[in-house]
Amino acid sequence: MRLLTIIYTLGVLLTLSLSAADKPNFVIIFTDDQGYGDLSCYGGDHVSTPRIDQMAAEGARLTSFYVAAPVCTPSRAALMTGCYPKRVDMARGSDFAVLLAGDSKGLNPDEITIAEVLKSAGYKTGIFGKWHLGDQPEFLPTRQGFDEFFGIPFSHDIHPFHPSEKWDFPPLALLDQEKVIEMDPDADFLTKRFTERAVNFIKRNSDEPFFVYLPHPIPHKPLHVSPPFMDGVDPAIIEVLGQEGDRIDYKTRDKLFREAIAEIDWSVGEILDTLKEEGVDNNTLVIFFSDNGPAIGTAGPLKGRKGSTFEGGMREPTVIRWPGKIPAGQDNDQLMTAMDLLPTFGKLAGAKIPNERTIDGKDVWPVLTGEADSPHEMFFYHGGDVLKAVRSGPWKLHWNQGKPTQLYHLESDIGEKTNLLKSEPGVVKRLMDYLKAFEQEISSDIRPAAFVENPKPLSMVKK
């Protein structure tokens, strides 16, 4: 299978048609466990996000934008590959809902990622933050199309200080490229450090097309904030945190949510300011969204949270900006997904989209510019490997073991409060047919994940 990837790359290099000046830059700012209501511009009064609000005013809010899973690993696999997680066998870790330290499983190197698509079109590619698609050397971002990687291999709570006695995790590794440079880095400074590396990458590559993927570990538990954003925090909270010792006080750190989001907002501002300073602002598409619903924050008007296939688990607060190309100050309620970014970015970059394999995402550029409606007749919700629901137009049908359980009209009932199952038999039948057909189709077209023998947790090599 790896031969197909090589042939694909060589073929693209021979058929590039856009000059470097014609190619837009792309920046994905991706947070962790941030809910639909956890931005000021999405109605959140428990947070303050002036830079993201400004980004929305200069761009658009996407109010029906979905990730393909309600937890970390599968959501990221879908973003990278443009496919439902089940299709690339990344709906779960080896023996848990997500990949853990030293997992034998990872995203198959034969998959063609969004980074590989853009790299084949002449882009410089960098990831700064949380990967979570495999921590073994064979699965790291540098093996999946990224020129640069500075970050952590998975969630920052997969560390020895986890409060649950169920887990005995090894130290958390911080990597620069494929080299472990620190063990258990001070998590208070991760948002700052990842932002600074992304800024540096933009400055070094502003004269050629680039792709920045900035997947922040925050606001996933435990919350960490750098000192400048701790001003005004209750001294009693600071005193408790100063006494944490061998265990992180997750409950007390939950109270830092406003500060954690403020630092994320600062990060967005740093990226946007750098684009302007480097003279590439008008040629750069920036999109901000989260990997799944909230664990600490709020899903606003939506039902459900992280781990749920109700809207609150998978519909994300999403802001997109490209001056002069995406209409400013508008809301776009067309159904779009994180899987759409691979084909959309690839098309804008003049890259060849893989056609020898199924890609579930669609080119949604005409939708973003207001020239067309969503190309998705339906969108499917999974919990792990299990198909849970489908949305088609305004209708969403939940099912369980092949039987319909709940039907909602999302345009009039965004909170999924009024079950119309009994009053709309025709809609139920149509959506049931969609579910049955898709379950059969995807089960017959699953590409395997990759596995390594004798996986080991990452560690620093002693000199």
pLDDT in tens, 145-197: 999 999 999 999 999 988 887 888 999 999 999 999 999 999 999 999 999 99
What is the rounded average pLDDT of the residues 332-348?
98
Residue 308, pLDDT score? 98
Residue 22: pLDDT band by 50, 70, 90 thresholds? confident
C-beta of residue 25 within 8 angstroms of C-beta of residue 285? yes
Residue 100, pLDDT score? 97
pLDDT above 90 as % of the chain: 92
What is the rounded average pLDDT of the residues 187-216?
98
Angle at 150 between CA 148 and CA 154, to 5 degrees: 120
Contacts of 92 (CB under 8 A, 6+ apart): 73, 74, 98, 384, 385
User: Is residue 440 domain-resident?
Assistant: no
User: Is residue 392 domain-resident?
Assistant: no
**What is the C-alpha separation between 145 and 139, in angstroms, rounded?**
11
pLDDT of 439 above 80: yes
Higher local confidence (pLDDT), 10 or 30: 30
User: Is residue 430 domain-resident?
Assistant: no
User: Is residue 454 domain-resident?
Assistant: no
Tell me which residues are annotated as active site. Answer: 72, 132
Number of domains in the chain: 1
C-beta of residue 106 within 8 angstroms of C-beta of residue 189? no
User: Is residue 44 domain-resident?
Assistant: yes
Residue owning tokens 């198959």: 108
Q: Of the given ranges (6-10, 168-172, 432-436), which has the lowest mean pLDDT?
A: 6-10
| DSSP designation for 41 | G
**What is the C-alpha separation between 48 and 376, in angstroms, rounded?**
33
User: Is residue 389 domain-resident?
Assistant: no
pLDDT above 70 as % of the chain: 95
Residue 167: give the domain boundaries: 2-377
Angle at 235 between CA 263 and CA 33, to 5 degrees: 35
User: Is residue 411 domain-resident?
Assistant: no
For 174-205, give the DSSP string: EEETTEEEEES--GGGHHHHHHHHHHHHHHHT
158: tokens are 């997969």
pLDDT of 128 above 90: yes
pLDDT digit string (tens) for 228-272?
999 999 999 999 999 988 789 999 999 999 999 999 999 999 999
Contacts of 132 (CB under 8 A, 6+ apart): 72, 73, 76, 98, 99, 153, 154, 155
421: tokens are 């199952």
User: Is residue 451 domain-resident?
Assistant: no
pLDDT digit string (tens) for 71-107?
999 999 999 999 999 999 999 999 999 999 999 999 9
Residue 8, pLDDT score? 53
| DSSP designation for 340 | G
- Sort 437 into a burial class: Cβ within 10 Å, 0-12 / 13-18 / 19+: exposed
**pLDDT, mean over the chain:** 95
Residue 14: pLDDT band by 50, 70, 90 thresholds? very low
Residue 16, pLDDT score? 47
CATH of the domain at 82: 3.40.720.10
Count of positions (residues) in the chain: 463
Q: Crossing angle, helix 341-349 and helix 72-81, to 10 degrees?
A: 30
Q: Of the given ranges (23-27, 241-245, 309-313, 432-436), which has the lowest mean pLDDT?
A: 241-245
C-beta of residue 21 within 8 angstroms of C-beta of residue 286? no
Q: Choose among 89, 87, 85: nearest CA to 72.
A: 85
pTM of this structure: 0.95
